[in-house]
Structure 1
Amino acid sequence: MKVLHTIAALREALPQPGANAFVPTMGNLHEGHLSLVRQAKGHGLPVVASIFVNRLQFAPHEDFDRYPRTLVRDCELLESAGCDLVFAPDERELYPQPQTFKVQPDPALADILEGHFRPGFFTGVCTVVMKLFGCVRPQVAVFGKKDYQQLMVIRRMVEQFALPVTIEAGETERAASGLALSSRNGYLSDEERAKATELAAALKALGQAFVQSPERRAELEAQALAGLKARGWLPDYLTVRRRSDLGEAQAGDRELVALGAAKLGNTRLIDNVEL
């Protein structure tokens, strides 16, 4: 497995555009990332994984500076999963000058839910993904369903710009307890980790309740928020939405997803359950 740090070296290693499968990451890898690499491997193409902590998607008060950088361990894990090439640029390589050109996603999709509570987040995500696509030039890119809204925003961006990339979804990997795997789980204490399963449980219960009484959606969402808050969480949202556009679910809608974000201690977790 090659580990490359410059765009020039990447282009030399991948001279033919559209001849690789790509898994973008911010490092601090876990089994969820590795499952995406194995999924990408199924296309019979060289697999490229990127490791880059993208400053543009962090607000000033968020955890950019303390986000774990574990490149050596990450490369060992990627190699064990069958990755062929790691692209690990530093900020000066990917952003040699201030990134004043940015990709502004559709506010109807990007300014709700995560985008409402993290203003500018999806602009940062779309900008770095667009730039990484330009560097790696993949045929297919795999993104995890755990970041459900992010997956939808990237898909819409690729459609809108007619990019020659197929966006593929990878299923959420969970611990035996049911906790969705996340790089930020490392911030949790042992006690918090045991308690963290309550978010997925609340989303599952909300989804089941909505299926039974869709006309009570707003009331059920308020009850779900209050229930998590009573258990010591600081929830941002728990809601049932259409998978197609993340619009508010109504009676008669099919293909729904319950999504939530909440802070446990100092750690903000997100999760979703498809209905």
Structure 2
Amino acid sequence: MQGPELPRSDAQHAMKPPEVITAPARLRERIAAERRGGQRIGLVPTMGALHAGHLSLVDAARQDCGVVITSIFVNPTQFAPGEDFDQYPRNLDADLGLLGPAGCTLVFAPSVETMYPAGCETTIDVGGVARSLEGESRPTHFAGVATVVMKLFQLAPADAAYFGRKDYQQTLVIDRMVRDLNVPIELVICPIVREPDGLAMSSRNAYLSPEERCRALALHASLRLAEQMCSRGERDAAAIRTAMLALLAESDITPEYIAIVRDGTLEPIDPVDGPAAIAVAARVGKTRLIDNLVVR
């Protein structure tokens, strides 16, 4: 059996900006044409306001695939009333300026009306993996995420989809949905990309004042503290959590949660006797940030 065509060269990717598509029929037409040419298709779902973290996903897709599709859609159904849907940064021209040199082939930028036509009522509930941690403070969030991601998988039927590790629980939700619904797509989870001082890259970092930006470093510092404690032999999850809370308090941050779970699950791990994911969510000023780190 002949294997998929090798990805196009970097030079070929950089020769022209990505084609912007807003109509699902046109997107399917383009994907079908690329498949007939033997191309492997990679999909990078985003809400725009792109930064180096997003571009690392595009780069990973470009290494694996001959065609890279980036979706740009601020999904209203994953925002609860009173959250920042209206304020969420939107700048398609700036995003396109980053995606061309990054090697993106197509950009799918649909309207809300395209994604959610009048009368659209179907949603996806992935069960228990969506109900703790993020699900406790944002109970409708993951239904919105799962639904829009499934729509994107249907509209842009790719061979592989690329997501960032920063949204740890989201990667578990999407993996559960893909497995439970037999979606024929490979999920590729890529490492967190950080600023030089350790802050995890996020579109919401733009909301932070200079003072808040400085205080936000405590999230990563608390995770590094947990890592150091584990490397010194600490296995008591409560002791690790207490030390993290104390460090966060020094920056006047009270987390919404600190979770110490078996890596790849949301199962609490205590004692910490195997690979663990340590996740934290907190508000710095009015901005809600999340971060996580794996302790092996």
Specify the TM-score bucket, using the shorter chain as the normaliser. over 0.9
Q: Does 1:39 align with 2:60?
A: yes
Is 1:125 the counterpart of 2:117? The answer is: no
Q: Which 4+ runs in 1 deviate beyond 3 A?
A: 16-19
Alignment correspondent of 1:4 = 21
2:241 alignment partner in structure 1: 221
Q: For structure 1, which segment, 198-207 or 179-188, has the greater mean C-alpha deviation from structure 2 after superposition? A: 198-207
Stretch of structure 1 that moved more, 164-173 or 201-210: 201-210
Task: Note closer, same or farther for the CA distance 1:28–1:252 as it changes in structure 2 (3 Å cut).
Answer: closer
Match for residue 273 of structure 2?
Answer: 253
Question: What's the CA shift string for 1:132-168, capped at 9, x where partnerless?
Answer: 0000001000000011111111111111111110000
The 1-side partners of 2:65 and 2:147 are apart by 28
Alpha carbons 1:25, 1:52 under 8 Å: kept: yes
Structure 1-normalised TM-score?
0.94
Note the 1:4-23 alignment, pairs <5 A: 4-15=21-32, 19-23=40-44
Superposition deviation, residue 43 in structure 1: 1.3
- Between the two proteins, the alignment pairs up a number of residues equal to 273
Mapping of residues 155-166 of structure 1, within 5 Å: 155-166=175-186
Q: Of the candidates 56, 59, 74, which is equivalent to residue 77 of structure 2? A: 56
Partner residue, 1:84: 105
- SS at structure 1 position matched to 2:64: coil
Identity %: 43
SS at match of 1:72: helix
1:273 lines up with 2:293 in the alignment: yes
Q: Does 1:233 align with 2:250?
A: no
Matched, 1:114 2:131: no
| Whole-angstrom CA distance in 1 between matches of 2:19 and 2:160 | 20
What is the Cα deviation at residue 80 of structure 1? 1.3
Contact 1:207 1:240 in 2 (8 A): no
Shift of 1:232: 1.3
Q: Who wins on radius of gyration, i.e. which is larger?
A: 2
Give, in whole Å, the separation in 1 of the partners of 2:261 and 2:243: 16
Structure 1, unpaired ranges of 5+: none
In angstroms, what is the RMSD of aligned CA positions? 1.6
- SS of equivalent to 2:264: coil
Classify the secondary structure of the residue corresponding to 1:15: helix
